[in-house]
Amino acid sequence: MAKHPNRKQFRWHIIIFLMPAVLVYTTVMIYPLLATLWLSLFTEVDQTRVFVGLENFKTLFGESVWSDQFWNALVNNLWFFIIHMLVQNPIGIVLAAILSQSKLRFSSVYRSAIFVPTILSFVIVGFAWKLILSPIWGIAPGLLDAIGLKVLYAPWLGKEASALTALSLISVWQFVGIPMMLIYAALLSIPEEILEAAEVDGITGWSAFFKIKLPLILPSIGIISILTFVANFNAFDLIYAAQGALAGPDFSTDILGTFMYRTFFGFQLQLGDPHMGSAIASAMFGIILVGVCVYLFGIQSRMRRYQF
């Protein structure tokens, strides 16, 4: 199907249509991305840039001044991700499963309400929860008291052992709406005939959910997982808003995003170091790339056969 019979003339309009997007995208996204990877191979000596190869990465992974912080941030980031996978996505799936029941009244009201935290900025979410969990204000202890569980209360955000988990759960609270919506959409797209056929065979309710719907929405669960992965390993705002750039108490909530920010931008007395910052960014890039590749080649390609 030749859309254009007039092949001799050079089609300038194609260039003109493509140019603005390609120009902005290349200069502000792709070039800086490559430049950052490139910068990570340099260091600054006497205010001049010196090529040092992979030296920065050796320092980052091996010298305890840097590597302690790096591995701490990476492990924290992994925990952050695990909590999202174990709490956010299952809750999202369950909510979507309940919402997708036919003839459920007010389902759009519930959907819109549950999505509200997702639209709020991290600044609002971080501070709001900081206030609510604060021992000074007493909302959290008061609520726990009301159900007779006051003993369980602790200033979670201020304790090293619980701060990261508490922040992860706050982030889960904020973003549960996204898996809920995507799974809801996937559940609605399952053809009615399949469910009717199952009903004839006596498979209904929760067993229909586990035996028929769940396998059919696996591709969407895969998409949610990779979206969660990329978002988590690139997170910064919530930790910064709630705990500051130092990701306290004592770096217990430090993740790669906050670590990179402190390193390249500097904070308090530490000067910014763009080269080490680039090295951390490159490490994050590597992690995200591995995750995306695992998804594309390991998960998504195998799931294709489930789609209709």
Among positions 71-130, residues that touch another protein (CB under 8 A) are 91, 94-95, 98-99, 101, 104, 106, 108, 110-117, 119-124, 127-129
Q: How far apart are CA 123 and CA 239, in angstroms?
A: 9
By CB under 8 A, what part of segment 142-181 binds another protein?
Answer: 142, 173, 176-177, 181
Q: How far is the CB of 39 from another protein (least distance, A)?
A: 6
Q: Taking CB under 8 A as the criterion, which residues in 12-31 touch another protein?
A: 13-14, 16-18, 20-22, 24-25, 27-31
Q: Within 263-302, which residues bind another protein (CB under 8 A)?
A: 264-265, 274, 277-278, 281-282, 284-285, 288-289, 292
Distance CA 26, CA 176 (A): 33
Q: Which residues of 34-51 are buried (b: 16+ CB within 10 A; e: fewer)?
A: eebeebbbbbeeeeeeee
Identify the helix (H) or strand (E) that includes residue 35: helix 31-39
CB 170 within 8 A of CB 126: yes
Residue 241 CB, nearest approach to another protein (Å): 6
- Mask: binding to another protein, 51-70, rule CB under 8 A, as x and -? --------------------
Q: Hey, CA dihedral for 24, 257, 180, 109, is it positive or negative? A: negative
CA gyration radius, the chain = 24
CA distances from 52 to 48, 178, 209, 278 (A): 12, 43, 56, 13
Q: Using CB under 8 A, which residues numbered 207 to 266 contact another protein? A: 223, 226, 230, 234, 236-237, 240-241, 257, 260-261, 264-265
Among positions 49, 54, 159, 204, the unique one binding another protein when judged by CB under 8 A? 204
Number of Cβ within 10 Å of residue 192's Cβ equals 8
Residue (71 or 137) nearer to another protein, CB: 137
Residue from the set 50, 54, 161, 185 that interacts with another protein by CB under 8 A:
185
